[in-house]
């Protein structure tokens, strides 16, 4: 699935907290994405089996672009969540920031709601005026 980011798979905090290493969290990331740390994923990430093995064992660090690509390919943030857990963060409360598109949508919806309320007030005032004129 090159150039295609799968939908985000939910990752349960209790599962993350049971992982002892970043390598185990990376393995979980692949499994949740329907892959294993196998040849297909290796090709997608452009790494070989030996490098995968070193990442998993912790004898070699993984650069952010590769880790990000792995999480995007697998459709979950298990390694990132594992790191947060290791730093003492509560995995039940983190949330993603709004994207620019989400922010524009929210602002547009808020503006529409404000306009609806104002229109309803104007319509109610006009009705009162009309009822007052005819009576």
What is the distance between the alpha carbons of residues 79 and 21, in angstroms, rounded to a whole number? 9
Q: Where are the domains of the chain?
A: 13-86, 97-135
DSSP 14-27: HHHHT--SHHHHHH
Percent of the chain surpassing pLDDT 70? 90
Q: What does the pLDDT look like over 18-58, one tens digit per residue?
A: 999 999 999 899 888 876 667 788 888 888 888 888 888 88
Average pLDDT over residues 87-114: 88
Question: What is residue 1's predicted lDDT score, i.e. its pLDDT?
Answer: 41
What is the distance between the alpha carbons of residues 133 and 125, in angstroms, rounded to a whole number? 12
Question: What is residue 56's predicted lDDT score, i.e. its pLDDT?
Answer: 83
pTM of the model: 0.64
53 vs 85 pLDDT, higher one = 85
For the domain spanning 13-86, the CATH number is: 1.10.260.40
Handedness of CA 86, 20, 60, 79 (dihedral sign): negative
């Amino acid at each position: 699935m090159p150039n295609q980011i799968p939908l985000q798979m939910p990752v349960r905090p209790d599962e993350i907290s049971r992982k002892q290493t970043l390598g185990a969290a990376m393995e979980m990331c692949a499994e949740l994405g329907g892959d294993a740390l196998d040849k297909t994923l290796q090709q997608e990430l452009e790494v070989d089996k030996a490098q995968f093995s070193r990442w998993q064992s912790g004898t070699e660090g993984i650069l952010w672009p590769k880790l990000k690509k792995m999480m995007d390919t697998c459709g979950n943030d298990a390694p990132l969540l594992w790191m947060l857990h290791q730093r003492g963060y509560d995995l039940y409360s983190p949330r993603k920031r709004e994207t620019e598109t989400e922010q524009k949508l929210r602002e547009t919806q808020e503006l529409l709601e404000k306009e609806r309320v104002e229109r309803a007030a104007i319509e109610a005032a006009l009705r009162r005026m009309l009822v007052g004129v005819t009576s």
